[in-house]
Structure 1
Amino acid sequence: MSPLFPALVARAERPALRFGDRTLTHAELADAAGSLAARIAGARRIAVWATPTLGTAVGVVAALLAGVPVVPVNPRSGERELAHIVADSAPELVVTEPGVVLPPALAALDRVDVVGIVDVEAGGAPAAVASGASGPSVPFPEHAPESPALIVYTSGTTGPPKGAVLPRRALTATLDALEDAWRWTADDVLVHALPLFHVHGLILGVLGPLRRGGSVRHLGRFDIEGVTRELSSGATMLFGVPTMYHRIAEALPGDPALAEALSGARLLVSGSAALPVHDHRRIAAATGRRVIERYGMTETLMNTSVRADGEPRAGTVGVPLRGVGLRLVDESGDTIEAYDGETVGEIQVRGANLFTEYLNRPDATEAAFTDGWFRTGDMAIRDPDGYVRIVGRKATDLIKSGGYKIGAGEIENVLLEHPGVREAAVTGEPDADLGERIVAWIVPARVEAPPSAEELADHVAAQLAAHKRPRTVRYLDALPRNDMGKIMKRALHG
């Protein structure tokens, strides 16, 4: 079996990880993670307190080297959620940076601190030695493709979070498909500021560069200055979520250094939620670079993407990745054959990129599949050339009004094109006549002079169709969002 991280095995001297002023080459990471792996080898399962730090990255890599399933834990988890995750996954150890005060649910576990990581530029021999362990790294065997690598917990919007068990073959399938789609090489330097307890920031944003033999520079927290600095000093790729790109779009008119930095990037990638079309246009106009979008989820990793050598069409998530089967299914369970840019169906996928099960939830696992296809719950249309356009979640974004099936996403994009709208979300509410009426939740650009409901309805009807216009408009100071920047629509009706 080929190694998960060839550059670690080869002990490449190229930079691998940089968090602030702490840096490790691939060779140094091999030593650091290898030493820690020797300490945790044989554990049934471990948790990693997933702060945006070098220690988190080393801890996860060590677990992968040792073949120990790792549960990345969101440091911002609430007490009840954290207690559920710990009880459900039953980790034997918790790996963390030194000096961290853990909450009670994790403090009761045996703790392994990642210590002794030295900034190579300051000199010294980097190592990550677990408390109570010492000695150089040792070679670890490759593990079976079906063996569990990570257990990543879902957001829990419809109940307690479920632990999606991701096997090693899912990691390699997704990262190698992205190598193909994005022309990702060892020469690429990725910059991002995404959290490390989630698929986007951890698997794509840390394990992706390591598998390619390239490097990642993590900002710790998102800021425009950091993006500008890193893209101006050798970084070739930027990963972000729509909230980050929206802030970039807002800053561009008065920041020529940011525009120049972005214009030199090889690839700008947005994910985790749809990037509004107007932000696409503002960034492209200021930099000459187009943001590409991809589509994935915890259970499937990545399913589709706009290719690096393809057309970066705003409002789409591109085409299925190599090795991913994707179909749209109507309410009767029949496959939608039409690529007409109009017919809405649920996305179902299959391939090596999928998870194996929800931990301790055989009922939920069985319910998630039909004939080997995973039911994503996301609704989409397909253009004639196969590009996928997601219109929302089946549970919250498919609105049935007056006999029509309407996707909330296309209405939101049109609302965001109105100069008086800063943020927008669209939902459905019960209506005695229409079945559901379309409701627009608006954060106005100018609080003192918001656009009227009639103005917004006319704006949508002129761009789409009359039956897609909002019947009710509600004004907010801000939309509720989670840690990844996704709008929490259920909270709007709470």
Structure 2
Amino acid sequence: MSQLLVEYPIHRPQAGDHPLARGADGVLRYGNLTPALTELLDLQVHAFASREAVVEIGGPRLTYRELWHSASRVAGGLQEHGIGYGDRVAIHMPSGARWVQAFLGALLSGAVPVLVDAGLPDAVAERVIADSRTDFVLGGTGLPDGAAFIDDGAALSDLALLCYTGGNETPKGVELTNENLLSAIRSVVGALDLPTDGLRNLVLLPLAHASGCVDQMLPTFAVGGTVVLAPDPCTFAETIVAERIDMVSATPRIFAGLLPKLAALRGDGLSTEGIARISNAGHRSERAAASTDPAAQSATLRELFPTARQWSVWGATETSGIGLAVGENAMPSALGFPFGGTELALCGPQAGAGRGELLCRGPNVTRRYWNDPTATEARFTGTWFHTGDQVTIDDDGLVRRESVEP
């Protein structure tokens, strides 16, 4: 990339109790990370063994101990099929407790989970599975079952997850390492101030996306909380009450579809005062697809959840689904302020004046695409990822959208 690139320094404290230090490559990195995601989760299993880890409405309810044991048996079953360190295991099923068991089972086997959205057309899903060189597909009706097994030999720099981006066009595999995932988890826990006293997070985002898996499910597990999954959106309101939900996580598009019904039920006496946190997450395509005025949606959320703090989180699959966040009273064009270890730059002829294509780097940002050096070269300048979003950056560091690359 030959265009002018201008870095924009961080204006706000970012990491709280988790200091960041700049590495030799110039990227800010967290210290004291566990060597691998599996080790972090193992610590939480021992700390919160009897707490509910995942609840599927109309389906299983699993404590941390039960989830870990069942996932380790899936790992053992995969091992009996010859799956081991570095192999790719596709998770191709709808979100639910079984999805979580499959995902963790793949991790515990030493393999790299490949997230294949169950909503993809068959031809696109087949392309993803072929491109990732998947060694085993977890789907259908049953999961492998064997003697409990846990591979704990991973390192921070090891590939830990393959997420695909590009929708139904030409999906590209995004390589996320243990460091990417652990950094994103730590950033979300800090930015959203997630408590360790029994958070119950109703996750309505698809688990096969970085925003659902990396930014909601895994941070909830990291604080010993409960991930509540409602496959049928019609049970949304009832779930809030029955499951004592105190956090709701969705995309602008999902909220747009649910709020009218919730407003009617609240008018009939439904209590939502127990909701303390609302996370409105998603990358630029989700925001565009919602076709909803962000300010109007924020106001509706405030009316329906009067005691909740709201966050709007921007990210891309390449940034582990995170990077910018903003509170509820921001202007409609605001994408947010950088958080965690995310740093920003602008590229283009007006970059020095605060206008251009948004670039990100940080410990959560992928280093490359899977098996695609051409795409990697096109979207990266050193450690900087080119998002394709045309933005402005204010003097106080607020990023605002100008237009979206088609």
Distance 1:79 1:287 in 2: 38
Per-residue CA deviation, residues 182-202 of structure 1 (Å, 9 max, x unaligned), is 011332110022222211222
Per-residue CA deviation, residues 467-489 of structure 1 (Å, 9 max, x unaligned), is xxxxxxxxxxxxxxxxxxxxxxx
Kindly indicate whether residue 345 of structure 2 is the aligned counterpart of residue 345 of structure 1.
no
In the TM superposition, what are the counterparts of 1:242-391 in structure 2 within 5 Å? 242-256=252-266, 261-272=271-282, 273-274=286-287, 276=293, 277-288=295-306, 289=308, 291-301=310-320, 302-306=322-326, 312-315=329-332, 316-329=334-347, 331-332=348-349, 335-336=351-352, 338=354, 344-391=355-402
Query: In 1, are the aligned partners of 2:183 and 2:363 still within 8 Å (CA)?
Result: yes
AA at the equivalent of 2:173:
G
Kindly state the Cα deviation for residue 163 of structure 1 after the two structures are TM-superposed.
0.8
Distance 1:259 1:172 in 2: 41
With the length of structure 2 as denominator, give the TM-score of the two structures: 0.79
In the TM superposition, what are the counterparts of 1:410-425 in structure 2 within 5 Å? none
Taking structure 1 as reference, are residues 201 and 322 closer, same or farther at Cα in structure 2, changes over 3 Å only?
closer
Distance 1:337 1:211 in 2: 40
Q: Unmatched 5+ residue regions in structure 1?
A: 99-112, 115-129, 339-343, 397-494
- Show the counterpart of 2:63: 25
Kindly indicate whether residue 182 of structure 2 is the aligned counterpart of residue 172 of structure 1.
yes
- Show the counterpart of 2:24: none
With the length of structure 1 as denominator, give the TM-score of the two structures: 0.66
Deviates more, 1:54-63 or 1:258-267: 258-267
Q: Unmatched 5+ residue regions in structure 2?
A: 1-33
Taking structure 1 as reference, are residues 170 and 218 closer, same or farther at Cα in structure 2, changes over 3 Å only?
same
Kindly indicate whether residue 94 of structure 2 is the aligned counterpart of residue 51 of structure 1.
yes
Per-residue CA deviation, residues 313-359 of structure 1 (Å, 9 max, x unaligned), is 25333311121111233x23x64354xxxxx3211001110123211
Q: Which has the higher contact order (CA 8 A, sep 6+)?
A: 2
Query: In 1, are the aligned partners of 2:342 and 2:362 still within 8 Å (CA)?
Result: yes
Taking structure 1 as reference, are residues 241 and 89 closer, same or farther at Cα in structure 2, changes over 3 Å only?
same
Kindly indicate whether residue 40 of structure 2 is the aligned counterpart of residue 4 of structure 1.
yes
SS for the counterpart of 1:377 is strand
Distance 2:216 2:368 in 1: 24
Distance 1:36 1:235 in 2: 29
Taking structure 1 as reference, are residues 290 and 389 closer, same or farther at Cα in structure 2, changes over 3 Å only?
farther
Kindly indicate whether residue 58 of structure 2 is the aligned counterpart of residue 15 of structure 1.
no
Taking structure 1 as reference, are residues 194 and 259 closer, same or farther at Cα in structure 2, changes over 3 Å only?
farther
Distance 1:7 1:143 in 2: 18
SS for the counterpart of 2:239 is helix
Distance 1:391 1:367 in 2: 22
Taking structure 1 as reference, are residues 260 and 364 closer, same or farther at Cα in structure 2, changes over 3 Å only?
same
RMSD, aligned α-carbons = 2.4
AA at the equivalent of 2:112:
P
**Could you tell me which of 119, 122, 133 is aligned with 1:76?**
119
Distance 1:260 1:383 in 2: 41
Kindly indicate whether residue 74 of structure 2 is the aligned counterpart of residue 36 of structure 1.
yes
Per-residue CA deviation, residues 233-260 of structure 1 (Å, 9 max, x unaligned), is 4211101111222234433543226885
The structure that has the greater radius of gyration is 1
Distance 1:97 1:32 in 2: 17
AA at the equivalent of 1:169:
E
SS for the counterpart of 1:263 is coil
AA at the equivalent of 2:88:
R
SS for the counterpart of 1:318 is strand
AA at the equivalent of 2:40:
L
Kindly indicate whether residue 201 of structure 2 is the aligned counterpart of residue 190 of structure 1.
yes
Query: In 2, are the aligned partners of 1:194 and 1:221 still within 8 Å (CA)?
Result: no
Query: In 1, are the aligned partners of 2:312 and 2:328 still within 8 Å (CA)?
Result: no
AA at the equivalent of 1:147:
D
Aligned length: 351
Per-residue CA deviation, residues 45-75 of structure 1 (Å, 9 max, x unaligned), is 1111131221111111112222211112122
Distance 1:253 1:375 in 2: 39
Distance 2:325 2:271 in 1: 23
AA at the equivalent of 1:300:
T
State the identity %. Answer: 24
AA at the equivalent of 2:121:
G
AA at the equivalent of 2:74:
L
Kindly state the Cα deviation for residue 374 of structure 1 after the two structures are TM-superposed.
0.4
Kindly state the Cα deviation for residue 152 of structure 1 after the two structures are TM-superposed.
1.1
